[in-house]
């Protein structure tokens, strides 16, 4: 049972995420019937799964949610902002109940809460007469029997009521007899045709003799109205799925029933019969005609090419829209089953173990290759070369298993933006681009919190109120945009807004006030803007639920740096702000470029390497070269890490690039490409500047992995500092006199 509950929680979270995403689209104005059906199916799936897992509180609450959604999709309820907000609150409540289930709380007493009763009461109000909007009147004319051209409207020529009922599993336990309801139904009229269905019937070994798995599709002739027929099932209304279509119902009503049929592998004729659009006798007659046509074709040497749907339409038995809906239903079920057959759930720790083993395989392969080269046996060298290529393919395939699209993380912010914009009283929309961009699952899990801080900051500090925007001649609606794309072996995530931008003077004044900088300290505009990442810094005048405590942006920078990434900010006063996050695609294995200084080895991430060139004679005090007309600052690893020994007569420069900036790294020796398994540094070395990790070479020696971002910033920062000191010196000189 514990395993069933774990599977239920995992799948229920997926369904609730789909439900919430659909509700957000409804809140943005979409009214696609298929979207509403998808939301209903998500709630229905959670309810059914909760019943299987025997978690009654969730099953009961989701049933109330499902009832309201059922009225929405049947056009018995009009969608309003208040109703969507209530359904979203119900979604949040389900997430909270799932959190409790994960903690092992399963009983009614453990899962019950005051909010549960309040929300069920509010949902029940939408099931009464006061909140129900009258269905829109149909203006399309009745379609006579035989006329099947009903595009855009029309009724089905069915003289009987169609009743579709699926009894809940607890009906028998509660002392109810499904057949008794059918016998009572006969007192109101005549059951013309009935099909017994077993949609919920499990395998024999999983069957419970006390559970009910029955359902019925009934064609019923009666002069009673719909309310009277519904009252037949009053005692089990909360424990069954019931759909009732009156005679000559609209085509769209039958289509809705087809779409609501359970996800099972049914033939086209079965779908039409179960929806009430076709009687069993009509289906049997259509199958006979189909068989006759196919027999004639075979006798003439042809192929049996007469689809049942075409025969039913040609013989004026059923409308083409219903056949199309049944075909789409069939296709949807087949695609879903095919997709499920292609998927397999794997626990994350098993994937982590696989990546660790692949990493050890990479190290062992490098050791074998080194031994082969030292042996001088060409056959062995060739064999290890093939082995290394296969190891590289295995590495890429293993890492691909952990790659997920960032769009799922982005989509969560639709709800965040909706709720916060209401709290702030601002009109703000969220735009998403690059949701299909993939990166390592471990990175996705850890980037959510920094993104949350940046989005909230953009909405609170960045985007002005509607009145202020209108006064400036800007669009009344503010905009927050999330964008992701790949660049030079990294993933770039941008969080931008079209607000007022960051006021550098205000930032400086706040920094001086909080003692972060001295009043007379000279800072560039970018350095002033970067002060927002300092601990304790905030430009908010008062503390609110969203900001003012100075614990947001420094957390963003620390979390991103912990992922070996960086964050930059660009702003334009009055136009908006853009935060750019750069992250590695994976935290496990990379392609590296091996270089040496004396006996030490260093690894530069290959994605950051642009080119290599020989360093020409330069002065000892000069730390830049002319690279085809471009000034390229560089630094010597020998000097940076204090490597002892004489400087060699011949040195090489590895040109690296990060975030659009270039710099050079001067080394003694170039040793070629190398597959690098990233090993984290011990806590003692975690704060070393310019080092991003370590790896093990084929010889068993340890090589340090260089942090290209930090080294480039060191190069650029050194040049900017020199330029600023030079400017200050020139300004301090007395003006020359003539």
Residue 566 near residue 627 (C-beta atoms within 8 A): no
CA dist., res. 133 & res. 75, Å (int): 8
CA-CA-CA-CA dihedral for 197, 200, 203, 208, to nearest 10: -110
Exposed/middle/buried for residue 344 (C-beta within 10 Å: 0-12, 13-18, 19+): exposed
pLDDT at 131: 35
How does DSSP assign 167-234, residue by residue? E-TTTTTTT--HHHHHHHHHTTEEEEEEEEE-TT---GGG--TTS---EEEEEEEES--HHHHHHHTG
Binned average pLDDT, 10 residues per bin, the chain of 738 residues? 74 86 84 84 81 78 86 84 88 86 71 74 72 33 34 56 86 83 85 77 81 85 84 81 79 71 65 70 70 64 61 67 73 61 70 82 84 87 88 82 84 85 88 87 83 88 88 90 83 90 87 81 83 74 49 77 84 90 76 87 88 78 82 87 82 86 89 79 71 80 84 72 50 48
339 C-beta neighbours (distance < 10 Å), count? 9
pTM, rounded to two decimals: 0.57
pLDDT at 722: 54
Region for 253 from its dihedrals, namely left if φ exceeds 0, alpha if ψ lies in -120 to 50, beta otherwise: alpha
Exposed/middle/buried for residue 522 (C-beta within 10 Å: 0-12, 13-18, 19+): exposed
Q: With CA atoms as reference, report the closest residue to 564 among 705, 392, 359.
A: 705
Q: With CA atoms as reference, report the closest residue to 360 among 384, 395, 401.
A: 395
CA dist., res. 537 & res. 513, Å (int): 10
pLDDT at 673: 84
Tell me the sheet residues that pair with 217.
164, 195
pLDDT at 587: 64
Angle at 737 between CA 735 and CA 738, to 5 degrees: 145
pLDDT at 724: 53
pLDDT at 497: 92
């Amino acid at each position: 049972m514990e395993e069933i509950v774990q599977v239920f929680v995992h799948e229920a979270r997926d369904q609730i995420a789909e439900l919430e995403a659909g509700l957000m689209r409804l809140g943005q104005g979409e009214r696609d019937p298929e979207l509403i059906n998808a939301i209903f199916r998500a709630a229905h799936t959670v309810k059914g799964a909760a019943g299987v897992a025997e978690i009654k509180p969730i099953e009961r609450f989701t049933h109330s949610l499902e009832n309201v959604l059922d009225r929405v999709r049947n056009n018995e309820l009009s969608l309003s902002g208040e109703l969507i907000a209530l359904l979203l609150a119900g979604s949040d409540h389900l997430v909270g109940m799932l959190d409790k289930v994960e903690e092992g709380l399963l009983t009614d007493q453990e899962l019950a809460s005051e909010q549960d009763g309040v929300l069920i009461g509010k949902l029940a109000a939408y099931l009464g007469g006061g909140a129900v909007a009258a269905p829109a009147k149909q203006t399309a004319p009745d379609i006579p029997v035989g006329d099947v051209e009903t595009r855009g409207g029309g009724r089905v020529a069915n003289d009987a009521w169609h009743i579709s009922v699926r009894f809940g599993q607890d009906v028998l336990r509660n002392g109810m007899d499904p057949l008794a309801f059918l016998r009572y139904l006969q007192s109101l009229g005549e059951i013309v045709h009935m099909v017994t269905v077993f949609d919920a019937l499990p395998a024999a070994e999983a069957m419970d003799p006390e559970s009910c798995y029955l359902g019925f599709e009934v064609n019923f002739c009666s002069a009673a109205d719909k309310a009277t027929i519904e009252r037949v099932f009053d005692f089990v209304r909360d424990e069954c799925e019931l759909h009732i279509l009156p005679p000559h119902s609209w085509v769209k009503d039958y289509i809705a029933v087809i779409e609501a049929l359970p996800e099972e592998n049914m033939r086209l004729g079965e779908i039409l019969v179960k929806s009430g659009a076709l009687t069993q006798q009509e289906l049997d007659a259509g199958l006979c005609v189909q068989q006759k046509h196919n027999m004639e074709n075979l006798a003439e040497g042809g192929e049996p090419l007469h689809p049942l749907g075409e025969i039913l339409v040609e013989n004026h038995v059923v409308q083409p829209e219903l056949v199309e809906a049944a075909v789409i239903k069939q296709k949807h079920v087949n695609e879903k089953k095919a997709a499920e057959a292609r998927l397999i759930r794997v626990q994350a720790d098993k994937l982590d173990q696989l990546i660790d083993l692949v990493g050890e395989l990479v190290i062992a392969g490098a050791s074998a290759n080194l031994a082969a080269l030292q042996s001088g046996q060409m056959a062995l060298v060739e064999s290890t070369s093939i082995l290394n290529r296969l190891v590289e393919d295995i590495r890429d395939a293993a890492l691909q298993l952990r790659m997920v699209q960032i769009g799922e993380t982005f989509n969560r912010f639709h709800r965040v933006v909706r709720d916060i914009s209401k709290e702030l009283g601002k009109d703000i929309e969220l735009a998403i681009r690059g949701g299909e961009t993939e990166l390592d699952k471990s990175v996705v899990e850890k980037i959510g919190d920094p993104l949350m801080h940046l989005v909230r900051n953009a909405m609170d500090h960045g985007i002005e109120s509607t009145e202020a925007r209108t006064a400036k001649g800007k669009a009344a609606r503010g905009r927050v945009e999330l964008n992701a794309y790949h660049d030079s072996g990294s993933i770039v995530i941008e969080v931008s807004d079209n607000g007022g931008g960051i006021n550098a003077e205000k930032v400086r004044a706040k920094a001086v006030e909080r003692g972060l900088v001295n009043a007379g300290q000279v800072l560039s505009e970018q350095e002033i803007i970067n002060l927002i990442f300092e601990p304790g810094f905030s430009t908010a005048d008062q503390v609110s639920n969203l900001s003012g405590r100075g614990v947001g942006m420094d957390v963003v920078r620390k979390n991103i740096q912990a992922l070996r990434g960086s964050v930059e900010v660009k702003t334009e006063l009055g136009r908006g702000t853009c935060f750019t996050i750069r992250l590695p695609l994976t935290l496990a294995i990379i392609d590296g470029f091996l270089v040496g200084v004396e006996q030490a080895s260093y690894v530069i991430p290959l994605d950051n390497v642009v080119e290599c060139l020989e360093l020409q004679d330069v002065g000892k005090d000069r730390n830049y070269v002319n690279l085809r007309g471009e000034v390229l600052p560089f630094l010597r690893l020998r000097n940076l890490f204090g490597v002892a020994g004489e400087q060699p007569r011949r040195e090489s420069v590895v040109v690296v690039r990060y975030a659009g900036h270039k710099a050079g790294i001067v080394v003694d020796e170039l040793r070629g490409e190398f597959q690098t398994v990233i090993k984290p540094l011990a806590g003692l070395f975690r704060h070393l500047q310019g080092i991003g990790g370590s790896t093990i070479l084929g010889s068993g020696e340890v090589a340090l992995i260089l942090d290209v971002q930090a080294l480039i910033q060191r190069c650029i920062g050194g040049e900017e500092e020199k330029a600023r000191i030079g400017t200050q010196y020139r300004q301090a000189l007395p003006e020359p006199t003539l």
